[in-house]
Structure 1
């Protein structure tokens, strides 16, 4: 049987994210209404969590955000795994190279 769950442009939704989305008909319809890029941003944001507790909080927050009409994760610089778009300077410095400035 083919996988009918709508995934992102780069990332496939892991099982825990799929289960969270499919737990509610309203949430599922909102997920399906997202663009593939929007879904990709949520998938990357959730799977980027280093700890299980953080991942769980992000799954819960993703559901709340979708139900509130959000189309992207708040305060997320964006997926650095996309091959169709080069990372911005901020993404390159902070997310990829691990550099950041504190203060001014």
Structure 2
């Protein structure tokens, strides 16, 4: 889908794009986010392990945008960026824990 802004590392998949485009207000808010802000939302959605969780996070992304949020609530941040090292918490909990 052309004209859809993505993140710095992640690209929004079709289901997320459709949901965001379905409401012109949400789409405008999405397009106004910084690339890093969009990246955080996309990473949060992509991190879901179950389809139901993914759907809920996509729906919540739209709701949070309408609430004025510019990053997902309660998300520690994308661990896939290569422009900065992960924080100690991210390393301990998100990276090392998944490696076990």
Shorter chain as denominator, the TM-score bin is: over 0.9
Partner of 1:48: 47
Partner of 2:69: 70
- Runs (4+) of structure 1 moved beyond 2 Å? none
Deviation at 1:4, TM superposition (A): 1.9
- Structure with more helix by fraction: 2
SS class of match (2:90): helix
Unmatched tracts of structure 2, length 5 or more: none
SS class of match (2:48): coil
Query: What are the within-5 Å matches in structure 2 for residues 77-92 of structure 1?
Result: 77-92=76-91
Is 1:32 equivalent to 2:25 in the alignment?
Answer: no
Pairs aligned (count) = 98
Query: Cα RMSD (Å) of the superposition?
Result: 1.2
Unmatched tracts of structure 1, length 5 or more: 100-104
SS class of match (1:97): helix
In structure 1, C-alpha distance between the alignment counterparts of 2:74 and 2:4, rounded to whole Å: 26
SS class of match (1:92): helix
Q: Which moved more, 1:2-11 or 1:41-50?
A: 2-11
Partner of 2:56: 57
In structure 2, C-alpha distance between the alignment counterparts of 1:41 and 1:20, rounded to whole Å: 17
Query: 1:66-90 CA deviation, whole Å, 9 max, x = no partner?
Result: 0010000000000000000100000
Using structure 2 for the length normalisation, give the TM-score: 0.95
